[in-house]
Structure 1
Amino acid sequence: MSVSYLEQIDQYIQFLHVQRKSHSIEFHLHQGCEIYFLLQGDVKYFVEKMVYPLQFGDLIITNQHEIHKPSFSSEVLYERITIEFDPQIAALYQTADFNPLSCFYDRPLGKKNKLSLTSNDSSVLLSLFMKYDALKKHPSLGSAIIKMGCFMEIIVHINRLFQEQKHTDQGLALHHKLSPVLDYIELHLGEDLSLDLLEKQFFINKYYLIKLFKKYTGNTIHEYIIYKRISLAKKLLAEGSSVTEACLVSGFNDYTSFLRMFKKKVGILPKDYQKGYLGYEK
């Protein structure tokens, strides 16, 4: 990637500052990494099998393989800042003693996603976010270079926070009856995961399972399984598997359905995802 990427920086880094009433949000995956900063709202944040209670100034960091979603406990005003970015653009600034992507990848999947900030850390990051937003809204001579510098300052600051807190995990496991079910799903994505099978496997009424999962996540277990399979398919494609192999191994037994679902959830077809994959893999 040449320095010309600066001319298209908004294609690699998407900054969003949103304020609105709370509403239902589905599980989702991004094509790259995401930084999520809560400004206000009654929010719990789900990543994989963990739930993170949030308050003002808390950060959530995720990579392209981690299923996540916010869930709202009330209808109070919701405000957050997110930065979604292509990992390759941050990887350009890796040095012998610093990996800008460490906090996004050097941890188990769905673990250590939450960073709690001091009031000083929150102020520093909020100032950087507002600077980036202003540069985006009011571009001028050289603003792309300054914007890139601001973005990397954010990344460096978050990595420092991650190193300070890397030995703690502030997430909570889901309901004790859900945890073993989700562990089973994780290990058997290529197999039958029908509600009837889960009912027999865990001696739990399937309608109760549906209700319990909906209560604790705000979404259906069927949707969760689809996203877990899509996540696995993305990983396989990034590692060089054929589209057909990714379809079968991730549990989509019907090829046409796989193509349609992948396009719906990821935004592009599997072959295009693989062809244009620019992510950072450990």
Structure 2
Amino acid sequence: MLDYAVKTMCFDAACTKQLFSGRYYSIVLVTRGTARFHWEAERWICSTEDLFLFKPGEGAVMVFPGGKLPLEMLWVQLSPEALAALSDEATQLEASFNVVPFRRIAVRADSEISMLIKSLARRMVTLPQEHDSFASALFEESLLKMFVILVLRACIHAEQHRAQGSRKHLMMDELFVYIRTHITEEITLEQLEQAFYISRFHIAREFKRQTGQTLHSYIVKTKLDLCCHYIEQGRPITEVYRLGGFGGYNHFFRAFKQEYGMTPKQYFRSVQKDAHA
């Protein structure tokens, strides 16, 4: 019998949840909504169809700030023994997991692979109800094998895309570093134009083309993400917006409520409630 587990997780209200892999390889598939995953200084934002992976003995804290859309995720855990049973002489799946360069990583799968992964994961949820069906063990093994292979392919493809685009996106990488470094300050296109010796119009156009969002929207969301971190630490709201680089409380309040569907104080209360629970 293969040693694995599949769990469906649904959250309608803001919450914080500790995820730990134990002795398993863990794969979290976000099927609806957006969540933040963080561990020590590392942070990832995952939305619908994103994968989040971590290896045995590791974990992450999942933060769902609430909002208009609920959060739905599928959590698949596979033991080293299960991966060995699904492997063959040509492909050792556990070894492949350790070759793919991640400890904890968020992956955006190609649309075709993502659709297949989601379909397989949802099918895996219903497998326990089919033990009396024809060739159930063989069907289960085939389903799991296909799921793991597609997840690994998604990781490999993501790495290849990053390698192929590294030179093309060099300016963007430098731009992200600059924004992160100066996130607690007011960042304008004029500043970026002077810092990179590139037209502000070109910066704005390229940022929108390569990321799908405006530069202003990205900066505001990054500031809000930092503010959420300070709120989770228990800092006063009157201090949070200054630490996050917002010039005034009203601007911070409007941006926070528009992004998360709740006020900063409501978010603080939800974090406190989850911590006590």
Give the TM-score, by structure 2 length.
Answer: 0.53
Equivalent residue in structure 1 for 2:7, among 11, 16, 34: 16
Residue in structure 2 matching 1:215, options 215, 224, 229: 229
Q: Are residue 90 (structure 1) and residue 90 (structure 2) matched?
A: no
Partner of 1:280: none
CA distance in 1, matches of 2:90, 2:231: 39
RMSD: 3.2
Q: Which residue of 2 aligns with 1:133?
A: 125
1:163 corresponds, among 139, 156, 163, to 156
1:80, CA displacement in angstroms?
0.5
User: Does 2:35 correspond to 1:43?
Assistant: yes
CA contact (8 A) 1:24 1:218 kept: no
**Contact between 1:44 and 1:51, CA under 8 Å: does it hold in 2?**
yes
Instruction: Give the whole-Å Cα distance in 1 for the aligned partners of 2:19 and 2:112.
Output: 32
How far, CA to CA, are the matches of 1:118 and 1:19 in structure 2? 24
Pairs within 5 Å for 1:1-282? 6=1, 9=2, 12-21=3-12, 22-26=14-18, 28-47=20-39, 49-75=41-67, 76-107=69-100, 110=103, 113-141=105-133, 142-167=135-160, 168=162, 215=229, 218=232
Counterpart amino acid of residue 7 in structure 2: L
- CA shift for structure 1 position 126: 1.6
> What is the rounded CA distance, in whole Å, between the counterparts of 2:232 and 2:97 in structure 1?
25
**1:101 & 1:217 partners in 2: Cα distance?**
39
Does structure 2 retain, via aligned residues, the 8 Å contact 1:61–1:104?
Answer: no
Query: How many angstroms does 1:26 deviate by?
Result: 2.9
Q: Distance in 2 between matches of 1:147 and 1:217?
A: 44
Cα distance change of structure 1 residues 27 and 134 upon mapping to structure 2, 3 Å threshold: closer
Q: CA separation in 1, counterparts of 2:140 and 2:18? A: 31
Q: SS at the partner of 1:101?
A: helix
CA separation in 2, counterparts of 1:79 and 1:18?
Answer: 6
Structure 1 residues 187-244: Cα deviation after superposition (integer angstroms, max 9, x where no partner): xxxxxxxxxxxxxxxxxxxxxxxxx898269479xxxxxxxxxxxxxxxxxxxxxxxx
Q: Conserved in 2, the CA contact under 8 Å of 1:71 and 1:218?
A: no
Residues 58/45 of structure 1: CA separation in 2 closer, same or farther (3 Å cut):
same
Identify the structure with the greater helix proportion: 2
SS in 1 for 2:5: strand
Query: How many angstroms does 1:63 deviate by?
Result: 0.6
Shift of 1:73: 2.9
Change in CA separation of 1:107 and 1:127 when aligned onto 2, cut-off 3 Å = closer
SS at match of 1:215: helix
Structure 2 letter corresponding to 1:162: C
Shift of 1:71: 1.4
Shift of 1:136: 2.0
- Please state whether the residue corresponding to 1:53 is helix, strand or coil: strand
Change (3 A) 1:49 1:99: farther
CA distance in 2, matches of 1:119, 1:37: 14
Cα separation, partners in 2 of 1:97 and 1:49, compared to 1, 3 Å: farther
Q: In the TM superposition, what is the alpha-carbon distance from 1:20 to its structure 2 partner?
A: 2.6
Q: Determine the C-alpha separation between the residues in 2 that align with 1:36 and 1:217.
A: 25
The structure with the larger Rg is 2
Report if the CA contact (8 A) 1:33-1:85 is conserved.
yes
Where structure 2 has 5 or more consecutive residues not aligned to the other structure, the ranges are 164-175, 182-225, 235-277
Higher relative contact order (CA 8 A, sep 6+): 1
Aligned partners of 1:219, 1:28: CA distance in 2, in Å? Answer: 21
2:70 counterpart letter in structure 1: L
CA contact (8 A) 1:46 1:70 kept: yes
Query: Structure 2 vs 1, CA of residues 43 and 34 (structure 1 numbering), >3 Å: closer, same or farther?
Result: same
> Gaps (5+ residues) in structure 1?
1-5, 177-211, 221-282
Q: Displacement of 1:102 after TM fit?
A: 4.2
Q: Is the 8 A contact 1:29 1:65 kept in 2?
A: yes
Measured against aligned partners, the alpha-carbon deviations of 1:18-42 in whole angstroms (never above 9, x if no partner) come to 2232412136342211110001123
CA distance in 1, matches of 2:233, 2:131: 40
TM-score, L = length of structure 1: 0.52
Instruction: Give the Cα separation in 1 of the matches to 2:231 and 2:78.
Output: 26
CA distance in 2, matches of 1:136, 1:219: 41
Relative to structure 1, is the Cα distance of residues 143 and 217 closer, same or farther in structure 2, using a 3 angstrom cutoff?
farther
Q: Could you tell me how far 1:104 is from its partner in structure 2?
A: 3.0
